[in-house]
Every structure is written in structure tokens, then in C-alpha cells.
Chains A and B, each alone.
Chain A
Amino acid sequence: MSAADTNAVAEAMPAALAMPAALPGPLVGLTVVELASEHGAFAGKLLADLGADVVLVEPPGGHHTRAFEPFLDDRPGPERSLWWWHYNTSKRGIVLDLQSPQGAASFARLVADADVVLEAEPPDRLVGLGLDHPQLRAAHEELIWVSITPFGRAAGLPRRNELATDLTVLAAGGPVWNCGYDDHTLPPVRGGGNQGYQTACLWAVSSALAAVLQRELSGRGQHCDVSMHAAANVTTEAGSYEWLVANATVQRQTGRHAATVVTQFTRTTGTDGIDIHTGFPPRSVAEYQGVIDWLDELGARDEFADIVLLEMAVERGGVQLWELASDPLAMEMFGAGRDAFIFIAQRLGAYEFFHGSQQRGLACAVILAPEEVFEDEHYRARGFPVDVEHPELGRAFTYPGAPFLMPASPWRIGSRAPLLGEHQHLVDFADEKG
């Protein structure tokens, strides 16, 4: 898109969605104490980027996720982990040894002034340290305490002490069963990107916010016990409810929804080698006519064998989904629409097909690699790439931006992830106050 086009889009933007200057985020004034963790870091990031004051507590020597790949210039180092950078934006960082009496006391004093504690410790660790929510909430009834554990913290949960990684959570919790290829000799697939952890973290954040809204009513906080395994279990769409409702088992299919029946392929490749999701075939008269016109524009009408079926579909007023099971001709016309789509897609570059299809009212997609969102005009026009200063490096880097536009109280990365012990003065302050 040209600069002139971008300006035209900006001018057409509703005034209510124009992003103003530096307003505070929606959670400004909310203080959160977060124990650094692999499983819960994304929840803390969401709260912090939405304006909460999140104090991240690391053990002496730094949390082990500082050693997680990838690294700046591929060289490991405690301040070079891009995993750490991404998941800890907008937080302030301190170091406390919770196993020492002094560190435990400092933690308790910080919590005494906090609205929310966020932790993903093993289920019994904090009990053993005398720092669990029953003790700390007893003196501070407004406190909201959010726990994230593999299987839940409550006593009596049979699997509460099982260990988990993102892979095993998604395997035990259902999403893996749904994902993979038509060829079932190939293993089912874990979706990439630590989605098991992130799924639990989204629930942790929505729970924290619900508890904040509830507290406005009652004046009381509470414990929110989030289970990663339960979160995965309710993130399988029909995988669970096909069984719950009809005792039917979905089966995985390449690039499509796992289902109780085998569905038609929805994938092809453009002339540039980029994969395309062909979306849903035409059904309405306008959609069929759009496809015929498109074939004509491409001068390819004569090469597409089933053009007659497309024209018949226009004449009969389109095809209804409910007709497919009982009307063989409707099924043929429906299939011809899909074939025409794939026929066209294979003659165009992926973006060319995407725009051509969408401009004719038919949903489809380019299968973008993650990094390609930074190059796509949609994401750029809406300000998705954001630059974050790393003053100690004298450089700024581009980060993924807001999950939603919230003009009166915008999402924002307030600062890059904390250096080890960068805000240690917060401990002294709390201790003096205590």
C-alpha cells in the first residue's frame, strides 16, 4: 500500500478509534506482585502492558527463564534472552530469596500493599515457606491471589503433583488430539508458541479482572486457582462438546477442523509458493457470479471445465448448505465452486488471490509466517509493530503490539523487561514502610 493509501485509511478512521497521546492504561493504579515463572509470565505481561504496576520477583542469580532461547545475536546471557524480553515487558524487577527470613519478610511487606499476587509455583512450595495465600490474605482481605498450576492447587485433585510442560499440557488436555494431518501414521501436532501456558495465562488475567470488579462490590479479594490442564481441556472447541453432547470422537485432518466426518481440503499454493487457505466455497448467486467474472478477467473461462456448473448455480439462485446431503446436483455445483477457487488460486500469487477473493466477498487467507505480520499492510496500518527502547544497548527493537485498540486507556509497552535487580529500591522502600 502506498503512503497516500495509508493516509486515506487514517483519515477514514472513526474519530473514536484515533489513538491519542500518552494516556494511562486501563489498569493504572493496580499493583501486582508476580513471582517470576515460565508458566505465568504472559499473564503478568498482559496486566503490565494494560497499565498495572507489576513488580516481578526473581530469586538470587535471576530466574532460569533468562536462559531461554532465542538470544540477542544468538549469544546467551542473563540480559539477552528474547523470551525474557517478550514476556516481561512493562514490569519492574527485584530479587528476593524467599527461603531466607529477610526475603520472606520483604515479600510479605510488598504483598501487604498489593492488589494482586500472581504466581505459578509448584502447588505446595509457598505453603512450606509460610507465604501462601491463606496466611497473607488473612491480614489483607482485599488481596486477590492468582495461582497457575499444571492441574490446580486444591487438595484432593488427583493429578495435582504431576509435572507439566507446554507439550504435555496440550497432550493431556486435548488440543493435540485435534491437530495434525490426514495421515494418522504421522504424530498429532502440538500447536507452536507455548500456547498451553498462554491459554492458562489468558484465563488468569480474565480471572484477576473479574476478581477486581467483584472486589469493587464486596471489598474482599479472593483466591483464583487456574489449572493449565483444565484450560487446555476447554480450548478444543468441538473436540470436547462432540463427546459431551453426542459421545462422538473427532479425528484430526490436515489444516482443517478435527471432525467426526472427513471434510474437503481447504489448502492450496499460489504461484509464489506461499500457501493459501481457500476459505469456504461460494454459495450465493453473487458469490458464484463473482467467481465466473473472475475467471473471465483472468481469461481462463475456457480452461475451467466446470464453468457450466457455476452458471447453473447462478440460474438456480445459489446453493444452500442443507441441500447438499439430499441433492446430488447441488453437491456438484458446490464442488465446482471449490474447484474454481483452487483453479484460480493456483494461477495467482497468494496475496493477489487473497485480495481478489476478499474483494468479491469471499473469506480466504494467506498462510503467513509469524514474522510476516510485521510486513502486512493491515498490521502496519493499525500500528501493530511497536518500537521499544533498550537504553542500556542504545537501541530500539520492534515488538508485537496491542491485542485490542482501547483509545481512552491504551495498551502500551511502558518499558523493556527489567534487568536483574533493576528496581531493588522497591524492596528497601517496602521494608522501611513496613
Chain B
Amino acid sequence: MARSRALEHLRICDFTGQLAGAGATRFLAAFGAEVIRVEDPVRQGMWDILRGVPPYVDERRGLDLGGGFNNHNVEKYGITLNLRKEAAREILRELIAISDVVTENFAAGVLARMGFPYDELRRIKPDIVYVSNCGFGHTGPYQTYKTWGPIVQAMCGLTFSSGLPDMPSAGWGFSYMDHHGGNFMAIAIMCGLIHRNRTGEGQWIDMACTEAGATLNGPALLDFTVNGRRMRRPGMPNSNHSQFPAMAPHNIYATDGDDNWVAISCRDDADWIALAKVVGEPWTADVRFASPDGRLADEAELDGRLATWCRSLERHAVAADLQAVGVPAAAVARPQERVDLDPNTAAWGLWPTVSHREMGDVQVDGLPVHFSETDWVLERGAPCLGEHTEEILVRLLGRTPAEVASLHAEGVL
């Protein structure tokens, strides 16, 4: 199987899991970095709660068969080390000594308690780039507190800022900050490498996912610090409308059928004039709606009128008719429509098939970028528990297969 050669010169000693950490090293692995997942054989790698949980490709169950785990760990190698034993710690030291980066998203302090605090990492490899990622980081008053995606999102403002007026916040229907925890962490890793390559200096980069998340509400934050306006006020959140910038109409409207919706946004007067022509009903000529300020002032009435117009129409037809006259509009896509029926995601190659030792051929998320010279490649599925232990110990760390067998027998691997 082929591998991208973009980052083939980089090796990551990787303790990450879930998505918030695994997503970061997934990016690097897709571009060919040698990412070596280190897992605990005693707990069968179940620190990563996605190992072995649904969805499954068939009726089989087991810790190598979780669909989410496969999705997040494609193109990585997997080894097991029982770090309770000195022989395993010695192997880890050897691996760190030939790695560029050590990554983890344990709760704060866990890797240090396993015997590998940053001071030990840099003793082993002076220019190591160590990136830790947890909800509240390794310093500060909440450093012992636990999080996962929805907790992070609640504590950074992203849950609150998503919802309909006069309702409790809806928040995010998935771990949005696990995705961006991974994305920010990938950026942190590469910044650490670029700095090291220029100066020869490694460092410990500590990421608190809550802080990364809090950077994603910028204009609302400045509206508070500059103007004193809080989002905790009547009528907010109101995220199907657009505040920054303000525009109307801008909403999600029900269409023909069950749970079918179309999103429409009018950016300016030109969009409004084009939309009004497509709608073709007398109310669109109301002078109150002729200016942005007028549309915003009577946004509720405008929404009601447009909702009535949309209600009996087919959502894809509405979107197509509006796109044809230059108005941004899109049907709210269901998973099947995005994955199996969208010609653009197909043409992009967005859902590549990887080969997994136990699961077989499985489609996974691709990357939303294409490189003209050294593009990403996703062909290998996630490693089964310990799938590459022998390969890595023999190829990189100079052990013989016989030595690996006896280390297994001694409970080291």
C-alpha cells in the first residue's frame, strides 16, 4: 500500500486517543508521518474508550472492531507496552530517543505519573517536542478536573452560543471540540517542529481544549470586552440568524416532507432582490424589506413569510433555484446524502476506503484539502491492539523476533 511522502521524515511517539488527541496525529499520519500509538496491554488499550464501541461493520464485537476508533486512527502503527515493568519503560525510552514528537491527551499529570514527565522526555531526547492536550491544561486551578467534548464545549461558551431564541441552548450535537482539539493540536505539533528545526530547541506545548474553544467566539467576545454586551441576555442565543455580520433573511426553513429543511442567507440587497424575484409574491415588494436595516427590524415577519413560501416546496429545488440567481442556499443534508449522493464529495474523494486487518474494507473521513505535489493518502485502517509491536521493535529498536516473543511471555508487551 502507498503512503504519502509529505512528512515521511517525522516520527511521533503517540499516546493520544479519543478524537481530541487522535485527530491530531491522524492528520500527520495521512501525510506520511510515522505515528506509533503506544497502548497498555493490561487494560487492552481501553483507555481509548472508542476502542470496541459502535458502530460496527457486522455482527462481530470486540476491541479491534470499533468504527470510530478505526476512523480516527487510520495510517497509524500500534504497539503495546506494559509500562508498569522496567523492561517496557526501557523500550519506551529507546522509542522516544528516535522520535521527533511525544503526544498525549491523558488527564493532566498521567504521563508524568507513568514515569515520563517532560524533564524525563527531554533528558532522553533534548530537542523533543512534547504536546499535551486536556480540557483544562496542566496548570491553573482546574488542572485536576476531568472533561470530554461536551464538557469542554460547555465551559468555553460554544454550547451556550448555539440555539434558538427563548430556548435553552441546543449546543453541539457532537464533540465539535474533539475535532478542533485535534486540529489545534496538529497545529501546535507542527509549530513546535518548525521552531525546533529553526533553533534546535524542543519544548513542552500545553494545550487546554477549553482555551482553544474559547478562541472560536471572537467577535462576540469583543462585543463584551469593548461594548459591555453580554450574550447572556434575552433573545440569545439566536444562531440560525446572523449577528456578525447582521443579515436577513438568514435562517433554516421547513420544506415539504418530514424533517426536511433548507438554509437561506441573504447577504445584501442584491441577494434580496434576486430572492424576491424567485419567490414572486406581493409581500416581497413591501418597502420595509427593501433595505438591510428594514429586513433586520422586521426579521420575524420576514422569516414567517419565507417559511410559509418554503413549506410546500422541495428543499433541493429551493436551493437550486436560489443558487441559480446567486443567492447562497443549501438543503440541510442528511448523512446519506452527503456520503453517498453528493457528486462533489465523490469527486473530491472525501470518503476513502481503508483496509483494516479485522474489519476489512471500511470507508472513513478523508481530508478537506488536496495538495498539488504531496497529497495525503489513507489506505490503512487503524491498528489492532499490538498489531505492529513486533514490526516496530525489530525494525526500529533492534530486537529479534525471539526477543520480542520472550518479552511478550514476560508480560512486558
Contact = CB atoms under 8 A, between A and B. Distances in A.
A229 B169 CA distance: 25
A277 B335 contact: no
Contacts of A199: 179-180, 183
B55 A242 contact: yes
A254 B173 CA distance: 8
> Majority SS of interface residues in chain B?
mixed
B123 to A, nearest CB: 12
A67 interface: yes
B240 A167 contact: yes
A223 B372 contact: yes
Contacts of B345: 229-230, 233
B369 A404 contact: no
B347 A382 contact: no
A318 interface: no
B212 to A, nearest CB: 4
Contacts of B139: 9, 12-14, 17, 381-382, 405
Contacts of B217: 192-193, 370, 400
Contact of A229 (B224, B244, B331, B344): B344
Interface string B192-229: 11110111011111111011101111111111111101
Contacts of A166: 242
A26 B188 CA distance: 9
A406 B191 contact: yes
A367 B161 CA distance: 10
Interface stretch (B81-89, B91-99, B249-257, B275-283): B249-257
Chain B's interface size range is 35 or more
Interface string A237-271: 11111111111111011111110000000110000
A230 B348 contact: yes
Given A200-B368, A257-B173, A173 B344 contact: no
A3 B242 CA distance: 40
Contact of A409 (B168, B195, B246, B332): B195
Given A233-B365, A277-B151, A407-B203, 20 more contacts: A16-B204, A50-B191, A156-B347, A163-B327, A173-B333, A175-B172, A179-B174, A214-B31, A214-B371, A217-B9, A218-B373, A222-B371, A225-B369, A234-B367, A242-B55, A256-B150, A256-B173, A365-B151, A365-B154, A384-B211
29 contacts: A9-B139, A50-B191, A158-B343, A168-B330, A171-B330, A171-B332, A175-B176, A179-B171, A180-B170, A190-B162, A194-B219, A195-B216, A203-B183, A227-B348, A229-B344, A238-B68, A245-B67, A277-B159, A366-B154, A377-B141, A378-B140, A378-B141, A382-B139, A382-B208, A403-B215, A404-B184, A404-B188, A406-B192, A406-B195
